[in-house]
Amino acid sequence: MLGANFNGATDTVTFPELEAMNSSWLRGFVTMHKTDQGDPAQQPELRLLLEAADRGYGTALSLKFQNSDRPLPRPGSPAMNADLARLDKVLPAVMDRVELLCVGNEPFLETRRSDRTERLNEYYEILTRHVIDYRRRHFPEGCRTHLFLGALNHLDRPDEQTNATARWLDFARRTPEIEGVDIHPHVDAPEGTNAYLDYVLPKLRGDQRILVTEFSLVLLWKKQLRKPVPAEYARRYGFPAGTPVWKAVRAAIDTPVPQRQWNDLCSMSPWYEQHKHFLRDQVQLLRDTGRLAFASYGIAQDDPMVQGFNADKTPWLFNSVFASKTVQPGPDGLPGRGYAWIDQFQTLQRPQDNRPTS
């Protein structure tokens, strides 16, 4: 299955956009500490996913525990108990309604580097057992929510394959209720995803599968930002010769451009044009493993992608199906398109995965 991913940016996705993509699956995350006030079901991220579920969409949710600016809570501590209490507020809203539930979003990135040890494993194992126990107690006859462990990152870097990532996968393998793990291969070359697959798949049970709720070539795009735009692009659109890519992108952020101009920026740039089938090829690579349960791809550009854009900014905006911050709206009233992605996304939808939606 291939769905649309909005992460936590609910303002980047509408149901007409999902219809235009031919997507009947939607993925996002909820930042758990934001659920402290009021009904969690009214959190924008959960409200959107629950509405999608009510409309017949398949849904995937990652539970994001943000610990990058604080020590990881110790077992039995007030901070640990607070996180468990947050689970007890969120789980009644999503269990048996959301179909794919990940404990954790990007645990190793959302934890201080000094805590990316067995402390991280211990913390997330407690959270995971709490989720499992909740499902067992409240749905003894069965539940349509499938449980996964949230995403591993940077596995294409040998120094990021650690004792903690090995224990993460060992815990998943030894825990019958866990049906697999999520991976986020944001890479600088298409073959970088193979390192993720080679590391993860042999460590899982034969009946377990993977989610790939984020993937992209963003690290390749980032290497291009200081390079000059193609000479023909500069001539055609009035940029001085040698204008770096990041300045041309910044100009499109400041004043969104016609669809043709954005397409020209991408198609005239060899580093982009040569990889315009990345979405198609990556999904095929993942499906060929026979172990893919679900993948999702970024639906649209959001505010953090464009704020303060410069040569050092990670250019997530090149990934999106809809180029909503850099391209003028289309004649159909929907946001402008990212170059190449929407046609591939539509073609990749398989009849057996489509769901009737309203």
pTM here? 0.96
Q: What is the pLDDT of residue 283?
A: 98
What is the pLDDT of the chain when averaged over all its residues? 97
How many Å apart are CA 16 and CA 96, to the nearest integer?
26
Q: What is the pLDDT of residue 345?
A: 96
CA distances (Å), 119 to each of 35, 93, 115, 125, in order? 24, 29, 6, 10
For residues 28 and 65, is the Cβ–Cβ distance under 8 A?
no
Q: Give the CA count within 13 Å in the CB-facing half-sphere of 331.
A: 1
Closest CA to 179 of 209, 151, 150: 209
Q: What is the pLDDT of residue 293?
A: 98
- Bridge partners (DSSP) of residue 26 are 4, 59
The segments of the chain whose pLDDT lies below 70 read none
Domains and CATH numbers, the chain: 2-218+276-300+344-348 (3.20.20.80)
Closest CA to 72 of 104, 95, 47, 28: 104
Q: What is the pLDDT of residue 358?
A: 86
CA distances (Å), 101 to each of 7, 16, 131, 151, 272, in order? 14, 25, 10, 12, 34
Please state the three-class secondary structure of the chain as a single string: CEEEEEECCHHHCCHHHHHHHCCCEEEEEEEHHHHHCCCHHHCHHHHHHHHHHHCCCEEEEEEECCECCCCCCCCCCHHHHHHHHHHHHHHHHHCCCCCEEEECCCCCCCECHHHCCHHHHHHHHHHHHHHHHHHHHHCCCCCCCEEEEEEECCCCCHHHCCHHHHHHHHHHHHCCCEEEEEECCECCCHHHHHHHHHHHHHHCCCCCEEEECCCECHHHHHCCCCCECCHHHHHHHCCCCCCEHHHHHHHHHHCCECHHHHHHHHHCCHHHHCCCCHHHHHHHHHHHCCCEEEEEEECECCHHHHCCCCCCCCCHHHCCCECCCCECCCCCCCCCECCCHHHHHHHHCCCCCCCCCC
For residues 178 and 147, is the Cβ–Cβ distance under 8 A?
yes
How many Å apart are CA 157 and CA 161, to the nearest integer?
7
What 255-258 contacts at long range (C-beta under 8 Å, 24+ apart), as own/partner pairs, is 256/325, 256/326, 256/327, 256/328, 256/336, 257/326, 257/327, 257/328, 258/327, 258/328
Q: Around Cβ 55, how many Cβ atoms within 10 Å?
A: 16
